[in-house]
Amino acid sequence: MTIPRSHPRYRSLKTREALVEAHRDGRLSLEGLIAHGRGEAFNYLLGEETAAPALVAEKAAAAYLLTAKRPVLSVNGNTAVLAAKEIAALAKAIPARVEVNLFHRTEKRVALLVRHLRQSGVVAPLGLRPDARIPGLESARSKCSRSGIFTADVVLVPLEDGDRAAALVKMGKKVLAIDLNPLSRTSRTSTVAVTDEVVRALVNIERFVRQLRGRDRELARVLKAYDRSRNLVAVHRFLVWRLGQLRE
């Protein structure tokens, strides 16, 4: 079925098509499709644009990535399919390593996603040869790379599940989450919680990375000013307000 450009939900339908295609060729799990549907609902409630408090969190995430010794962008199936180019651009801007890390890990899917990321401009994505484990997770989900997530001090985890975000925090890492549900365990556990759609969030974080680079005083100020709990309260208030507006 060809979707006409005039359709009011054109972009949303094209995104769905890309995900369905990614499942068909083995890059995306079925659970990833259901997770995308949850994200769609929250994105719709947010009015499909970046809320002001999300922008504050995105700036904080940029500051953490710029001041990190070993920043890593963790990429799962949905992130790779939806935002490979944005991941490549952000990784280059920081610069940071990129590691494929899957909830429903199969070696074949990791290989397909690594290839997909490489084709989208990511330099030397990690994930194919995990040689370390995140403590506290089951075997398949704990696999990671020593030169990537395992020794990172700051990890960006878009669309991550709560268990893994918590396990990374327990390892002493700064965890930057991108999650459209401000009430999720991931959002409530991470160091920085960005409540925004993954493409918008990555584009904004990259812009802040470019703006903040080398400005040490401003970086320190941004890191000091960000308060996850207060920020999530603001996001939540925005969501309640938006939902109230949607009736009009």
In contact, 199 and 83? CB cutoff 8 Å: yes
To the nearest whole angstrom, how small is the minimum distance from the Cβ of residue 21 to a second copy?
Answer: 9
To a second copy, the closest distance from the beta carbon of 181 in angstroms equals 8
Q: How far apart are CA 45 and CA 185, in angstroms?
A: 19
Question: Per rule CB under 8 A, is residue 92 in the interface with a second copy?
Answer: no
The pair of structure tokens assigned to 60 is 């904080």
Residue 16 Cβ vs a second copy, minimum distance, rounded to whole Å: 6
Does 148 contact a second copy by CB under 8 A?
no
Find the binding residues for a second copy in span 156-215 (CB under 8 A): 181, 183
When asked if residue 20 is in the footprint of a second copy (CB under 8 A), the reply is yes
Residue of the chain from 33, 55, 137, 223 that contacts a second copy (CB under 8 A):
33
How far is 166 from 134, CA to CA, in rounded Å? 11
Among candidate residues 171, 202, 163, 183, the one with its CA nearest the CA of residue 240: 183
Out of 18, 26, 40, 169, the only residue in the binding site for a second copy (CB under 8 A) is: 40
- Mutual angle of helices 216-225 and 198-212, in 10-degree steps: 140
Identify the residue among 4, 135, 172, 244 touching a second copy (CB under 8 A).
Answer: 244
- The CA distance from 31 to 16, in Å, is 14
Cα separation values, 5 from 10, 47, 51, Å: 6, 20, 26
Interface positions, 209-238, toward a second copy (CB under 8 A): 233, 236
Report in angstroms how near the CB of residue 54 gets to a second copy at its nearest: 16
Q: Phi/psi of residue 216, each to 5°?
A: -60, -40
Residues that bind a second copy (CB under 8 A): 16, 19-20, 23-24, 30-31, 33-42, 181, 183, 233, 236, 239-240, 243-244, 246-247
